[in-house]
Each structure stands twice: as structure tokens, then as C-alpha cells.
């Protein structure tokens, strides 16, 4: 299961996991065409896949999403909590209550709701990978500190769940990307943000979605069988 698997890092993750032999359920909220394109790419690899329009902030939608995935593909073995949003870049004092709640809901509440559905259903072990952000430790001052706070919550969720679910054979890890070339920066009103951040990054550039997907796929795989509670920073040195 990959949430927000229709675009950006989620889409790259879906394509990489399909190439590694996974059957995949992916969800998205709005962009039907993007989701259908990724679905076709998975089918082209010969893997089974379904795409479900579901808002991961809605507990009923999340339960329906997991029901459909189980009904059509079998028991859920892995979850990638990838869906995320920012709001418009700007000073903290100008943050609206609506943007605050939306950002906390999509980045943090959704990860908790999806992890709960997965944990209830993973009766023979499994793996969960959360996608947080380097912002969780950098703070994103002047841009979106509420987003950074939500992602810090995702890091804490990873640590707590790894300890609670480890005895059941469920590994829980996290990837914390730095700035990556996706449309999330257009939504935040700062499409060129990756170029600006690149000047500060020790590696001198922003990341590509597939460079994050590689880390997610590793943590999901049996190669990471002794890794749980890890927060893997993939941020070009920032």
C-alpha cells in the first residue's frame, strides 16, 4: 500500500516497488489522470495493482482503502505512508487555522490512521515506512514550521510504533527526504525552492524522487530485516 502514489515521490516508489516484484494498491485524492498513468506503468511490469481515490485524512476512506486492497490483492504486507502536503510558504504569524489543520491532518493524522489499519491487519508481520522530512529537525523557519512540526510527529510515531509492533514482527521505519523535485513546491507557491535549497546542500543539488524511492524500497525489503525505528535521512547532506 502506497498512499499518495500518483505523483512525485509516491509515484517513483510505486514504480520501483513494482519493478522489485510487489503487487500494489495506491491511493490519491484528486488527480485521476496521474493515478491512471502510474497504474498503467505497474501493469506494464506484469504486477497486479489497484488505484483507489481516498482521502487519507478520513478514517472511513482509509478503512475502505484497506478493505479494497485486501479484497483484491490479498493481505497487506507493507505500507508506505507517503501522502503529504505543505501550505503556502510564509511567516508563521500569517498561518491560517485552515492551513494548520490541513497540514497536520494530511502529514500526521493520516499516517496514524493508515498505520492503525495496517497494524490491525498484519497478522503475519510486515513493514511500514513513513515519509517524514529533513524539515522535522531543521524547522523550516519562515516557510512552514507547522509542516516541520507535523513531520517531527511522524518521526516520533515511527519510534513508538517500532517498539509497540516489533514483538509482532512488524518493522516500522522512516525516510526523511531533503528537498526533492516534485510538484509539492508549486502548491507551496515556491516552485523554484529546490534550486534555492541546492545552494546550501553539501551535495549541491536537490534530490530526484527515485533517490527517495530507493531508500523507501530498501527499508521495506527483507534486506532491512534488522532495521526498525530507523529514521533514514536522504537529504544531500542537509
Among positions 28-57, residues that touch ligand NAP (CB under 6 A) are: 28-31, 55-57
Q: Is the CA virtual torsion 52, 54, 60, 62 positive or negative?
A: positive
Does 136 engage in binding with ligand NAP (CB under 6 A)?
no
Per CB under 6 A, the segment of 3-11, 119-127, 155-163, 220-228 that binds ligand NAP is: 3-11
- Contact criterion met (CB below 8 Å) for 215 and 175: yes
Q: State the cell numbers at 208.
A: 530526484
Does 188 engage in binding with ligand NAP (CB under 6 A)?
no
Instruction: Find the farthest-apart pair of alpha carbons in the chain and give their distance in angstroms, rounded.
Output: 50
Q: Of 55 and 70, which has the nearer Cβ to ligand NAP?
A: 55
Q: Of 52 and 73, which has the nearer Cβ to ligand NAP?
A: 52
Does 184 engage in binding with ligand NAP (CB under 6 A)?
yes
Q: Of 78 and 84, which has the nearer Cβ to ligand NAP?
A: 84
Q: What is the rounded CA–CA span in Å between residue 183 and residue 191?
A: 7
Q: Which residues contact 182 (CB under 8 A, 6 or more apart)?
A: 7, 8, 9, 209
CB atoms within 10 A of CB 89: 15
Does 16 engage in binding with ligand NAP (CB under 6 A)?
no
Size of residue set near ligand NAP by CB under 6 A: 29
Among positions 92-131, residues that touch ligand NAP (CB under 6 A) are: 106-107, 131
Nearest to 6, CA basis, from 63, 52, 46, 68? 52
CB of 232 to ligand NAP, least distance (A): 12
Residue appearing with cell numbers 512552514: 144
* Residue 147 is a catalytic residue: yes
Q: Is the CA virtual torsion 147, 121, 62, 46 positive or negative?
A: positive
Does 66 engage in binding with ligand NAP (CB under 6 A)?
no
For ligand NAP, the binding residues (CB under 6 A) are: 3-4, 6-10, 27-31, 55-57, 82-85, 106-107, 131, 133, 177, 179-180, 182-184
User: What positions carry a catalytic annotation?
Assistant: 147
Amino acid at each position: 500500500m502506497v498512499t499518495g502514489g500518483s505523483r512525485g515521490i509516491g509515484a517513483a516508489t510505486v514504480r520501483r516497488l513494482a519493478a522489485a516484484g510487489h503487487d500494489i494498491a495506491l491511493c490519491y485524492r484528486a488527480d485521476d489522470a496521474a493515478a491512471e498513468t502510474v497504474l498503467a506503468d505497474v501493469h506494464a511490469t506484469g504486477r497486479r495493482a489497484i488505484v483507489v481515490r481516498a482521502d487519507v485524512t478520513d478514517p472511513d476512506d482509509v478503512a475502505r482503502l484497506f478493505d479494497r486492497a485486501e479484497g483484491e490483492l490479498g493481505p497487506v504486507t507493507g505500507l508506505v505512508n507517503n501522502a503529504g502536503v505543505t501550505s503556502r510558504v510564509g511567516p508563521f504569524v500569517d498561518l491560517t487555522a485552515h492551513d494548520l489543520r490541513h497540514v497536520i491532518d494530511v502529514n500526521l493524522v493520516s499516517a496514524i490512521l493508515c498505520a492503525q489499519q495496517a497494524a490491525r491487519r498484519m497478522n503475519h508481520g510486515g513493514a511500514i515506512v513513513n515519509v517524514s522530512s529533513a524539515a522535522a529537525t531543521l524547522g523550516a523557519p519562515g516557510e512552514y514550521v507547522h509542516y516541520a512540526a507535523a513531520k517531527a510527529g511522524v518521526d516520533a510515531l515511527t519510534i513508538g510504533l517500532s517498539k509497540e509492533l516489533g514483538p509482532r514482527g512488524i518493522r516500522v521505519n522512516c525516510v526523511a527526504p531533503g528537498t526533492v523535485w516534485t510538484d509539492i513546491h508549486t502548491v507551496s507557491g515556491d516552485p523554484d525552492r529546490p534550486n534555492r535549497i541546492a545552494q546550501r546542500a553539501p551535495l549541491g543539488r536537490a534530490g530526484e524522487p527515485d533517490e527517495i524511492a530507493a531508500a523507501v524500497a530498501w527499508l521495506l525489503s527483507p534486506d532491512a530485516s534488522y532495521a526498525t525505528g530507523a529514521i533514514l535521512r536522504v537529504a544531500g547532506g542537509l
